[in-house]
Structure 1
């Protein structure tokens, strides 16, 4: 862990302002975004699963919040293909089937227990597992959840925070167990888990995405 902590402390003064600004964007979305803004972000998290963050950002901008909420299957699917999504048919289906949650999102985020919200989303929203639910909540301002992306997991393995990469999909027990391995690093680094992820992502990819 100490080598990783040293790496994080080296980049902190370089990217801290960018990290803080990005997190303010997350908080602003969670506090001031309307239901379609929030559904757009949820759809972004559906799209980035097994794809790329940059691809998801491109698709989110291209489709727009009204598109996620209102386009027909055919029109949304066409746009997914136009941006080169790996799984346009499945992701289009998921997004349309998730529209039931649009009226619930604003009130859902007012719940003071992010772990309960994450569990509900992971169990009830199509194309969203524990990682994607954590991603959505972090991107709407939640500070205390980890996004256990494969790039983050590889850093954890290299730094001996875990002994091996998970061999199968996530369940609640496995995800929380892995998430807790990052808590000591978060405390030593002096940043909440949500911001720590942005620093770790920068180490892995050389950019601050979302």
Structure 2
């Protein structure tokens, strides 16, 4: 039984099976899907996750990785509109160009923290949050994905004094460390807590 405060404990009881199932899905994502999971994480900031999923599905269907066409029309489509589509289209093309290096890093790494650092250096526009998000989505555990939804709950639980507008790398690592300690205390993993917080804000257990 979790040692979370009542507000979170009741939600955990209701969503535990679904959250654990979603994390299990992440751990079974095949290597062949890693590139498109990375595309998803490039598209999601400040855009709807459902739109990003649809765009990724279309890019995959049209073999974006193999062909390397301009993805801008896919991102600009009003049905699946992605904000900052011009910038993100350029990032997708840059990521495609360096993806063999990224894949090699993932294959050879035995440290999630080191791997995250290496991805930040390799991937244009990627910071701590985006790299952690991508790695979580391909089954890497223990990395905090700190966005405004999560920060709201961390503040309510007393782990941070306020919701930061921006987070330096040092602050990010400090919050991650506190979150790990809290997770150990309540008996629920950081990854599970992340999906719990996210689902409490959005009503869904999504990637």
- Give the TM-score, by structure 1 length: 0.87
The answer to whether the aligner puts 1:79 opposite 2:77 as a matched pair is no
Query: What is the RMSD computed on CA atoms of the aligned residues?
Result: 2.1
> Where does residue 123 of structure 1 map in the other structure?
121
The answer for unaligned runs of 5 or more in structure 2 is: none
Return the offset for 1:140. 0.8
Q: Residues of 2 paired with 1:57 and 1:131: CA distance?
A: 19
> What residue number does 1:100 align with?
97
1:51-85 deviations in Å (ceiling 9; x for gaps): 23233223222322722553422xx1101111211
Residues 38 and 105, structure 1, Cα contact 8 Å, conserved in 2: no
Query: Residue 147 of structure 1: CA displacement?
Result: 0.3
Matched residue count: 202
Change (3 A) 1:25 1:104: farther
Where does residue 20 of structure 1 map in the other structure?
A: 20
| Secondary structure at 1:109 match in 2 | helix
Kindly report which structure 2 residues correspond to 1:46-195, keeping only aligned pairs within 5 A, or say none: 46-64=42-60, 66-68=63-65, 70-73=67-70, 76-82=71-77, 83-110=80-107, 111-168=109-166, 170-195=167-192
Tell me the distance in 2 between the aligned counterparts of 1:69 and 1:4.
47
Is there any run of 5+ residues in structure 1 with no aligned partner, and where? none
State how far apart, in whole Å, the 2-side matches of 1:151 and 1:68 are.
Answer: 32
Cα pair distance change 1:160/1:118, threshold 3 Å: same
| TM-score of the pair, normalised by structure 2 | 0.88
